[in-house]
Structure 1
Amino acid sequence: MDIRQIGEFGLIERIREDAIVEAATVVAGIGDDAAVVLATPKHFQLLTTDMLVESVHFDLSTISPWQLGYKAIAVNLSDIAAMGGIPRQVLISLALPSDVTIEFVDGLYQGIKEICRQHVVNIVGGDTVSSPNGIVINVVVLGEVEPAYLQRRSGANAGDLIVVTGNLGDSSAGLELLQRGRWEEFKFAWPLVTSHLTPRPHLKEGRVLAAHTATSMNDISDGLASEANEIANASQVCLRIDAERIPVSTELREAAIHLGKDSLEYALYGGEDYKLLATLPPEALAAVSAQVDVTVIGVVEKGEPGVFLLEENGALLRLEAKGYNHFRQNEKGEHDVAM
C-alpha cells in the first residue's frame, strides 16, 4: 500500500503515535498549527537543522528505512552534543514521492522513534509534502544548555590539549565498502558499515567535556581536517596534530589494506564520523578521562591560524580542509557527491 491510499492526514496520524517521550516538557505537540513546549529557566535554547536529500546524502540501495530514520536524527543530535547541550524536541519534515509505500514510512519512523527514545527526545511537529524527484528529510532539533556549559568553536587557547572522542574514519570506509558491494564477505566490514549507517551521537561525551571546562568543540561531520581548521580559524590559534596519535580502529586498518588506501586518509578527510573534536586545559584531562573515552591527538599553540600535522617521519605538514563540500568542484571539474 502506498501513501496515496491514506493521504496526508492519515500519514500524520500514523506518525503521531508514540511521538512524545517526555510529556512534561510538551504543552501541545503534533496536531496544532505550532508545537508548544516548556523552556527551561536559566538555559540557552539551541536550535539546529539538517536536510538529507536522496542521491546526495543517501542511496536507498545501501540503507534501510529504519537506518535512514535513525541517522537523520543522529546527525542533528551530534550538533547539539558539540554545543555541550541536551536535545529536547524535534520537528521532522518529509517530501515524499506519491508512490512511496506505507511500509517505508513506518520503517523510517521506527528508526526515528528508536533514537528519540534512547535520548528522551519528543517529536512535536513537522510537515509532509509530495516530491516529484526523490525523498527529502529535514530535521530541526531544539535543545538547551546552561550558559556555563555552552561550547563554541572560538574558545581554544594556546596550551590546550586537542582531544577526540572515539575512532575516526570508520564511517567513510564503511560507505566505500557499501558502494563496492559484497562487503558482507569481510569480518572487518560490519563495524565500519554500522558506523556509517547508524552513527551514535556523542551527547554524553559533549556534556562531560563541557562540564570540565572544554574551551572549544566541534562535531566531526566533514572530516577531522575540516573541523580542526574551523576551530583554528574561529579561535585564531594554531593546532598541531600528531598523526600517530589519531585513533583508528583495527577494522579500518584492515579495510584500508583491502581498498588499497591509507587509513589515515579516511580519518582526516572521510567525514560522517559524528565524533567530537575538542580542546581543553591539560589539568582537566584526568577528570574527563575518568568518565568518557577521549584520545589526546595534539596541542594548541600560538601562531598563524591553521592546522599542522606532525607525520611519522617528523615532517610538519600544513593540513588543509579537504573534507566534503556540497558546492566545491573537484580536480575533474565535477561537484562532490555524498551518499
Structure 2
Amino acid sequence: MLSERALIDQIARRAQGTAPDLIQGIGDDCAVIAGPGNTVWLLSTDTLVAGVHFDLAWHPPRLLGHKAVAVNLSDVAAMGGAPRFLLLSLGLPATLSSVVTEEILHGLQESCRDSSCLLVGGDTVQSPVLTLSLTVIGQHTKTEVVYRHGARTGDLIWVSGWLGSAAAGLELCRQGLAAHADFSPLVTAHLAPTPRCRLGRELSRRGLAHAMQDISDGIATDLAHICTAGHIGARLEGDLLPCHPLLPPAAERLGLAPLDLMLRGGEDYELLWTAAPTETAAILALAEEMALPCRQIGTMVELPGVQLVQRDLQGTPTSVREIAYQGYDHFPANSL
C-alpha cells in the first residue's frame, strides 16, 4: 500500500491544472482561492471516522462534535485566516442512538458559536460506521496568508502549547485510565483540542511567521512538510521540546517514551512556525499577551531533512538523528 504522503503526491499529480483564481492547490493546510478585492478564501476538509479517529466507548459525543469542528478550524489558523463557514457530511449507522446524534450536533453548534463560524450546508447518509466530514471555508487578506513554503535558512522554529499531550491522552483512554484525575489535561487534549485561531491570525497580521503549519501528524512529520515545501532543512533541539509536566508520569504509567509521544504523536493541533531571530521579542510578547506558552525549539538550516539533536548537561551533542516523516501515517508502508 502507498504511504499517506505518496498517495497525496499521486492525487496531486492527477489533479494538475490551473485557474485564474486558484492561488494554492494541494500541498498546504488549505487551498487558497482569490476572493473580492485583496481577500482570499481558504478551504480545507477533515474527516473523523469511528474506530480510526475516535471511539464512542470513551469519547463523549458532545466533545466529538466539538473536535470535528476544531480540527478543521486548525487548518485555517495555520494559514493565519479567520473561519467563516462550515459544510458537514454526516454518516450515521442505523443503530446509532438519536441521543448520541443530538449530543454530537450540540457540540458542533457550540463550537461554531464560539468561533463565529456558520454551518451552512452539507449531506447526511446512512453509513456502516459513524463518520463526520467537515469542510471549512475561511477568509483572509491575500498579502497576509502564511504558507508552508516560506521558511528561510536561519529562521528559528517555534511551537505553541505542549507536544505529545493528545497522543498520551489517547493512550490513557485506550488503556482505561481516562478517569485518572491526575492526567485530565492530557485526556482533554485528545478529546477536545483547542484550535489556535487567534494566535494564527496575530502571527499573520503582525508579520511574525515566514512559514506555518498545524501539528496533526506529529512534529516529526509536520516540520518535514515545511522543510519539503521550502526546499530547506531543520534542526530540532531535544531539550527544548515543550513537555507538559504530566506527560512523563503518564508515559511511565503507559509504558511509553515521552520523547516518542512528543515527536510522533498526532493531533496536538498546536501551531508550528518559523520566524526571523529578530522577531523573538515580539513573539514572546504576543505569547504573554495571549497567556499561551510559545517556545523556540530549533533552527532552519540548508541541509534537507529534520534532525533531532540531543545534548548532555554540558550542552555537548550526544546524538544527531534524522526524524523526517516519522509521525502518524494512515497508510504506513509496512501495513500490508
Output the TM-score relative to the length of structure 1: 0.83
Shift in Å at residue 146 of structure 1? Answer: 0.9
1:268 maps to 2:267: no
Counterpart in 1 of 2:226? 231
Aligned to 1:92, the other structure's residue is in SS state strand
1:326 maps to 2:330: yes
Shift in Å at residue 41 of structure 1? Answer: 4.1
Aligned to 1:56, the other structure's residue is in SS state coil
1:145 maps to 2:145: no
1:208 maps to 2:202: yes
Q: Is the 8 A contact 1:208 1:288 kept in 2?
A: no
Aligned to 1:300, the other structure's residue is in SS state strand
1:70 maps to 2:66: yes
Counterpart in 2 of 1:251? 246
Which 4+ stretches in 1 moved above 3 angstroms?
Answer: none
Task: Give the whole-Å Cα distance in 1 for the aligned partners of 2:143 and 2:38.
Answer: 10
Aligned to 1:291, the other structure's residue is in SS state helix
Q: Is the 8 A contact 1:223 1:323 kept in 2?
A: yes
Name the amino acid aligned to 1:271.
G
Q: 1:104 aligns with which of 62, 75, 100?
A: 100
1:307 maps to 2:306: yes
Task: Give the whole-Å Cα distance in 2 for the aligned partners of 1:217 and 1:320.
Answer: 17
User: What's the CA shift string for 1:174-215, capped at 9, x where partnerless?
Assistant: 00010000332x333100000000000011111122123211
Shift in Å at residue 53 of structure 1? Answer: 1.3
Counterpart in 2 of 1:14? none
Q: Is the 8 A contact 2:38 2:143 kept in 1?
A: no
Q: Is the 8 A contact 1:212 1:284 kept in 2?
A: no
Task: Give the whole-Å Cα distance in 1 for the aligned partners of 2:225 and 2:80.
Answer: 17
Name the amino acid aligned to 1:294.
C
In the TM superposition, what are the counterparts of 1:287-306 in structure 2 within 5 Å?
A: 287-292=282-287, 293-303=293-303, 305-306=304-305
Q: Which of the two has higher C-alpha Rg?
A: 1
Task: Give the whole-Å Cα distance in 1 for the aligned partners of 2:177 and 2:256.
Answer: 18
Coordinate RMSD, CA, aligned? 1.4
Task: Give the whole-Å Cα distance in 2 for the aligned partners of 1:80 and 1:221.
Answer: 13
Counterpart in 1 of 2:186? 192
Distance verdict in 2 for CA 1:40–1:114, change over 3 Å: farther
Task: Give the whole-Å Cα distance in 1 for the aligned partners of 2:145 and 2:333.
Answer: 35
Name the amino acid aligned to 1:69.
G
